[in-house]
Structure 1
Amino acid sequence: MTSKEIRELSPTEITAKLRELRDQLLQLRLRKQTGQLEKTHELRALRKTIARLETILNEKSRPQVAAA
């Protein structure tokens, strides 16, 4: 999911997507611990996507500062 796609979402949609991705990350971590995960690069990609979502959500929730 790119930053451009994320910016088009509403804050409630971003929150829902965050919950979904965090659950997915938990499942991947458990699979890695049991040795069932072959594509370990997915963990890093998922963490980066979660960070993007959190950053954009934080930008949207912050009050807009008037440019002076």
Structure 2
Amino acid sequence: MKASDVRTKTVDELNDELAKLKKEQFNLRFQKATGQLENTARVRIIRRDIARIQTILRDKLSA
């Protein structure tokens, strides 16, 4: 997910996307704990997407 794509979304859409990503992050952590995680790079991608959305949300809410 690119920052330019995130900036075009509304605050509600960003909150929905953030909730979806956090749920996926939880599932990935659960898979890792049980030894079922195959794509370990996905953890890093999700973590960065969450940070990107939170940063842009903070920027939109403060403006």
TM-score strictly above 0.5: yes
Residue correspondence of structure 1 range 52-67 to structure 2 within 5 A: 52-63=52-63
Partner residue in 2 for 1:10? 10
1:66 alignment counterpart: none
Identify unmatched segments of 5+ residues in structure 2. none
Aligned partner of 2:46: which letter? Answer: L
Structure ranking higher in helix proportion: 2
What is the aligned-residue identity percentage? Answer: 37
**1: CA distance, partners of 2:3 / 2:24:** 19
Amino acid in structure 1 at the alignment position of 2:24: Q
For the residues of structure 2 that align with 1:32 and 1:41, how far apart are their CA atoms?
12
Offset of 1:38 from its aligned partner?
Answer: 1.2
Root-mean-square deviation over aligned CA pairs? 0.6
SS at 1:12 equivalent? helix
For normalisation by structure 1, the TM-score amounts to 0.90
* Structure 1 unaligned spans of 5+: 64-68
TM-score, normalised by the number of residues in structure 2: 0.97
Of structures 1 and 2, the larger Rg is shown by: 1
Q: CA deviation at 1:39?
A: 1.1
Amino acid at match of 2:38: E
- Structure 1: distance between partners of 2:31 and 2:47: 16
